[in-house]
Amino acid sequence: MSTLEIKGLVASVAGQQILNGIDLTVRSGEVHAIMGPNGAGKSTLSAVIMGKPGYTVHAGQVLLDGVDLLTLPAWQRAQAGMHLVMQYPSEVPGVGLTDMLAEAYAARGRSVEGLADSVADEAERIHFPVALLDRSLNVDLSGGEKKRNETLQLALLQPKFAILDELDSGLDIDALRDCSRRVEDATNESGPNGGLGVIAITHYNRLLEELHPDQVHILVKGRIVESGGPELADRLEIEGYEAFAGADAAAPAAPKKPSLDDLFAL
Neighbours of 44 (CB within 10 A): 22
3-state secondary structure (DSSP) of residue 165: strand
Nearest CA among 39, 9, 48 for reference residue 25: 9
Toward ligand ADP, which CB reaches closer, 159 or 222? 222
Q: Which does 153 bind (CB under 5 to 8 A by kind): ligand ADP, Mg ion, none?
A: none
Task: Report the SS3 class of residue 225.
Answer: strand
Cβ-based neighbour number of residue 250 at 10 Å = 7
Note whether 41 binds ligand ADP by CB under 6 A.
yes
Contact by Cβ (8 Å): 223, 248: yes
- The residue (of 16 and 190) whose beta carbon lies closer to ligand ADP is 16
- 62 interacts with ligand ADP by CB under 6 A: no
Task: Pick one of Mg ion, ligand ADP, none as the site partner of residue 40 (Cβ within 5 to 8 A by kind).
Answer: ligand ADP
Interacting positions 174-203 with ligand ADP (CB under 6 A): none
Q: 3-class DSSP state for residue 20? A: strand
- State the residue number with the nearest CB to Mg ion: 43
Q: Figure out which of the listed residues 2, 20, 28, 44 binds ligand ADP, where binding follows CB under 6 A.
A: 44
Task: Give dist(CA 213, CA 153) in Å, integer.
Answer: 22
> Which residues of the chain form contacts with ligand ADP (CB under 6 A)?
13-14, 18, 36, 38-44, 54
Q: Which residues bind Mg ion (CB under 5 A)?
A: 42-43
